């Protein structure tokens, strides 16, 4: 993603923020849409488009769990393991998903298709045990079979055209 | 057991996801009534309604709005806190998903009262679906002139900007949210100054939770007196409780404050427990509040009653555990949450939450000693009340109360050499 593309994305919303620093987070989210994570080049482009140093942009990005400064799979699967989900079998769900995609717990599958991560409360405890693919609607309550079906469908879909983590 | 869908109007009316559907259901009547008043009268109406903040602290909404200086010579902002991340809480999600226009109308009403021309809604990063719904609703409002240059009348502009977080519980804390919205790391600020005086971009700022703001349209349409007459004097109105955990019908329930007990909520509305199971514990206001036991089930649900029972109404996220669950394991899991989410700015919080998790972890895994309980007790006072924000107090409250109320369980787990993983409830819903 180039600084120019990011600037074009920011142009219509610039006037909504009296301090242009506020554009850094939207710019980072937009930059992440291309590859699903933020390589150095993307950080540099965000820095150029917003007028802040790359070091500053990186210090902001590193604070947020859903901005990835390391490569992740084409799909990020977040299994919530906070209390309400734990009581409904989240730890077993996490282990089951890991076995399906061939990771040992959290991590990225060998084929680069999936990153599995343990998440904190996703605001969907009524759907416990639940998971979230990228930042799509939270899914649940999930049996292990239902989780397999979700993963199977994702495999069939391949890579998304735009990553919304 | 009175239920009243005043915020959850989508449960009474069809088609609230389109502007025309919302208008047919009486949408914008609240704003219309507000625009006929002076801003001062609007603020006075907020105050008289008795509405209290629904994000956790329960601070009177009208009073907070009246703290904003009128003649600061700077713009005034309204910020809606849609970061909903308190464990057990998913009430705002349903407003965003199903009734977005009522939130927009509420934000507009509050903004008129405090003289704000641009409001911000900060949505947690994980709510991608909810973001899409809200984005469409705002676009529809702009196209219809409900937002824009003449929103509050000819030449009286008002608009809303959506802002998306990126995964950080702490950004729900109001000053951390403002930092994040200003393009910084989301770490809380020292207070005072409070946001009412120096908030977003150092300007006077009113921050309220989604449910608080979405409560305003019916209040302004039907009148502050209508609202203040519902429920107890100090906790009037309706409140949405999210119920989850070991109940058969997890979900959101909007109840009349003070007229429903914890027992009604859990055993009637939320369907009760599985056959053969006994109630063990619940965290009635999200996970950052003291845990309650079966003895407290007849407590009415309102701010004062829950406080007298030793807990808090908090966010209204009621997490229920039956006797298949282990209180020590549950406490350990919560300690993990706070350790993970601590922003690291204050030493007592950063180190203390780490210790809580570590000590509880070794008890759960069979490496605990009885002295660990004394060590936990000595930690509580060294964390609570010694930090910049209330995350640390929220980390201590559930653990400290669990140890007070269920000490036998902690001792038994230590003596038995750990807490075996219980059979989870899994997918059994009524
Ligand atoms: C650690 C922490 C997390 C919080 N998370 C949220 C949240 O997700 N949503 C929210 O509305 N308030 C949250 N709050 C409370 C806010 O700081 C603030 O009190 C609230 O947004 C004010 O709105 P209200 O008066 O309408 O409740 C949190 C507070 C703390 C200390
Ligand atoms: S109490 Fe914890 S979360 Fe709050 S500012 Fe201090 S370190 Fe950060
Ligand atoms: S605890 Fe899992 S979604 Fe809330």
**How many pairs of residues across A and B have Cβ atoms under 8 Å apart?**
173
What 3-state DSSP class applies to B389? coil
The closest of B130, B135, B214, B122 to B176, measured between CA atoms, is B122
B5-20 in b/e burial notation, b at 16+ Cβ within 10 A? bbbbbbeeeeebbebe
Ligand nearest to the CA of B110: 1
Per-residue pLDDT, averaged over A12-27, amounts to 97
Q: Each residue of B40-49: pLDDT tens digit? A: 999 999 999 9
What 3-state DSSP class applies to B77? strand
d(CA B173, CA B200): 14
What pLDDT, on a 0 to 100 scale, did the predictor assign at position B2?
A: 72
Cα B55 to middle of ligand 1, angstroms:
5
- Residue B101 and residue B21 in contact, taking contact as beta carbons nearer than 8 Å: no
Structure tokens at B62: 């009208």
What pLDDT, on a 0 to 100 scale, did the predictor assign at position B91?
A: 98
Residues at CB less than 6 angstroms from ligand 2: B 170, 188, 342-346, 349-350, 387-389, 391-392
What pLDDT, on a 0 to 100 scale, did the predictor assign at position B294?
A: 98
Q: What is the ipTM of this complex?
A: 0.97
What pLDDT, on a 0 to 100 scale, did the predictor assign at position B1?
A: 62
Structure tokens at B42: 């609007």
d(CA B336, CA A2): 39
Can you say how many angstroms the Cα of residue B384 is from the centroid of all Cα atoms in its chain? 21
Q: What is the full DSSP assignment across A53-105?
A: -HHHHHHHHTT-TTS-SS---SEEEEEE-SHHHHHTTHHHHHHHHHHHHT-SS
- Cβ atoms within 10 A of the Cβ of B192, count? 9
At residue A129, what are phi and psi to the nearest 5 degrees?
-75, 140
Helix (H) or strand (E) segment spanning residue B358: helix B347-364
What pLDDT, on a 0 to 100 scale, did the predictor assign at position B422?
A: 85
Burial of B390 (0-12, 13-18, 19+ CB in 10 A): middle
pLDDT tens digits, chain B, 430 residues: what are they?
A: 678 999 999 999 999 999 999 999 999 999 999 999 999 999 999 999 999 999 999 999 999 999 999 888 999 999 999 999 999 999 999 999 999 999 999 999 999 999 999 999 999 999 999 999 999 999 999 999 999 999 999 999 999 999 999 999 999 999 999 999 999 999 999 999 999 999 999 999 999 999 999 999 999 999 999 999 999 999 999 999 999 999 999 999 999 999 999 999 999 999 999 999 999 999 999 999 999 999 999 999 999 999 999 999 999 999 999 999 999 999 999 999 999 999 999 999 999 999 999 999 999 999 999 999 999 999 999 999 999 999 999 999 999 999 999 999 999 999 999 998 888 887 765 5
DSSP annotation of B53: -
Structure tokens at B189: 């600020």
Cβ(B54) – ligand 1 distance below 6 Å = yes
Cα dihedral: B122, B123, B125, B129 (round 10):
-150
What length is written for chain A? 165
d(CA B317, CA B86): 8
- Cβ atoms within 10 A of the Cβ of B156, count? 12
What pLDDT, on a 0 to 100 scale, did the predictor assign at position B430?
A: 52
Q: Which of A125, A134, A137 lies closest to B250 in CB terms?
A: A125
Task: Work out the angle at residue B16's Cα, subtended by the Cα atoms of residues B13 and B19, and round it to the nearest 5 degrees.
Answer: 135
What pLDDT, on a 0 to 100 scale, did the predictor assign at position B429?
A: 56
What pLDDT, on a 0 to 100 scale, did the predictor assign at position B215?
A: 98
Chain A residues whose beta carbon lies within 8 Å of the beta carbon of residue B424: 86-92, 129
What 3-state DSSP class applies to B305? helix
Cα B364 to middle of ligand 1, angstroms:
31
Task: Work out the angle at residue A44's Cα, subtended by the Cα atoms of residues A39 and A50, and round it to the nearest 5 degrees.
Answer: 125
Q: Which of A66, A89, A128 lies closest to B125 in CB terms?
A: A66
Rg (CA), chain B: 22
Q: In a mutagenesis test of the B interface, which of A86, A133, A139 is the best target, namely the one with the most B β-carbons within 10 Å?
A: A86
CB contact under 8 A, A164 and B317: no
Helix (H) or strand (E) segment spanning residue B331: helix B327-341
Helix (H) or strand (E) segment spanning residue B82: strand B77-82
Cβ(B196) – ligand 1 distance below 6 Å = no
Average model confidence (pLDDT) for chain A? 96
What residues are paired with A77 via a beta bridge? A116, A133
- Residue B123 and residue B96 in contact, taking contact as beta carbons nearer than 8 Å: yes
Q: Each residue of B171-195: pLDDT tens digit? A: 999 999 999 999 999 999 999 999 9
d(CA B357, CA B393): 15
Name the residue of chain A whose CA is nearest to B129's CA.
A137
d(CA A39, CA A113): 18
Q: Strand pairing of B118-123 and B159-164? A: parallel
Question: Which atom in ligand 3 lies closest to the alpha carbon of residue A90?
Answer: 2
């Amino acid at each position: 993603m180039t600084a120019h593309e990011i600037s074009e994305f920011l142009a219509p919303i610039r006037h909504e923020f009296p301090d242009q620093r506020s554009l850094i987070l939207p710019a980072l989210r937009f930059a992440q849409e291309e590859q699903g994570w933020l390589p150095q080049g993307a950080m540099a482009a965000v820095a150029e488009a917003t007028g802040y140093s790359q070091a500053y942009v990186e210090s902001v990005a590193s604070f947020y769990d859903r901005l990835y400064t390391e490569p992740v799979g084409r799909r990020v699967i977040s299994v919530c393991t906070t209390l309400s989900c734990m009581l409904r079998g989240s730890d077993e769900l996490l282990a089951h998903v890991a076995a399906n995609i061939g990771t040992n717990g959290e991590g990225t599958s060998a084929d680069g298709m999936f990153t599995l991560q343990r998440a904190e409360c996703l605001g969907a405890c009524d759907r416990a045990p639940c998971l979230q693919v990228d930042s799509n609607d939270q899914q649940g309550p999930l049996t292990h079979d239902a989780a397999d079906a979700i993963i199977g469908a994702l495999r069939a879909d391949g890579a998304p055209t735009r990553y919304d983590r | 057991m009175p239920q009243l869908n005043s915020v959850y109007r989508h449960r009474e009316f069809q088609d609230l996801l389109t502007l025309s559907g919302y208008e047919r259901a009486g949408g914008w009547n609240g704003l219309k009534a507000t625009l006929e008043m002076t801003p001062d009268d609007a603020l006075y109406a907020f105050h008289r309604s008795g509405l209290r903040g629904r994000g956790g602290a329960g601070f009177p909404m009208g009073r907070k709005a009246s703290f904003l200086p009128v003649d600061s010579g700077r713009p005034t902002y309204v910020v809606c806190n849609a970061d909903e991340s308190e464990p057990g809480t998913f009430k705002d999600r349903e407003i965003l998903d199903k009734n977005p226009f009522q939130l927009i109308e509420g934000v507009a009403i509050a903004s008129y009262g405090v003289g704000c021309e641009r409001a911000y809604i900060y949505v947690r990063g994980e709510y991608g679906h909810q973001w899409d719904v809200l984005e469409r609703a705002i676009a529809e409002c702009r196209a219809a002139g409900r937002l824009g240059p003449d929103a509050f009348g000819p030449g009286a502009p008002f608009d809303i900007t959506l802002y998306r977080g990126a995964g950080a519980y702490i950004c729900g804390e109001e000053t951390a949210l403002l930092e994040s919205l200003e393009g910084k790391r989301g770490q809380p600020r020292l207070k005072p100054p409070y946001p009412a005086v120096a908030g977003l971009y150092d300007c006077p700022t009113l921050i309220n939770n989604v449910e608080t703001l979405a409560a305003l349209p019916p209040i302004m349409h039907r009148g502050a007196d209508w609202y203040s007459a519902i429920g107890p004097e100090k906790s009037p109105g309706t409140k949405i409780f999210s119920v989850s955990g070991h109940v058969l019908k997890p979900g959101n329930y909007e109840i009349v404050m003070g007229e429903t007990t914890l027992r009604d909520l859990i055993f009637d509305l939320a369907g009760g427990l599985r056959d053969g199971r006994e109630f063990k514990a619940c965290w009635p206001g999200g996970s950052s509040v003291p845990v309650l036991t079966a003895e407290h089930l007849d407590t009415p649900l309102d701010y004062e009653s829950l406080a007298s029972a030793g807990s808090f109404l908090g966010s209204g996220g009621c997490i229920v555990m039956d006797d298949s669950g282990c209180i020590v394991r549950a406490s350990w899991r919560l300690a993990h949450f706070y350790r993970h989410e601590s922003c690291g700015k204050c030493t007592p919080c950063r180190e203390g939450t780490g210790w809580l998790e570590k000590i509880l972890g070794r008890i759960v895994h069979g490496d605990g000693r009885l002295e660990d309980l004394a060590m936990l007790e000595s930690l509580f006072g060294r964390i609570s009340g010694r930090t910049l924000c209330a995350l640390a107090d929220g980390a201590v409250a559930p653990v400290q109360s669990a140890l007070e109320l269920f000490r036998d369980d902690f001792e038994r787990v230590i003596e038995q050499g750990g807490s075996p993983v219980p059979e989870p409830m899994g997918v059994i819903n009524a």
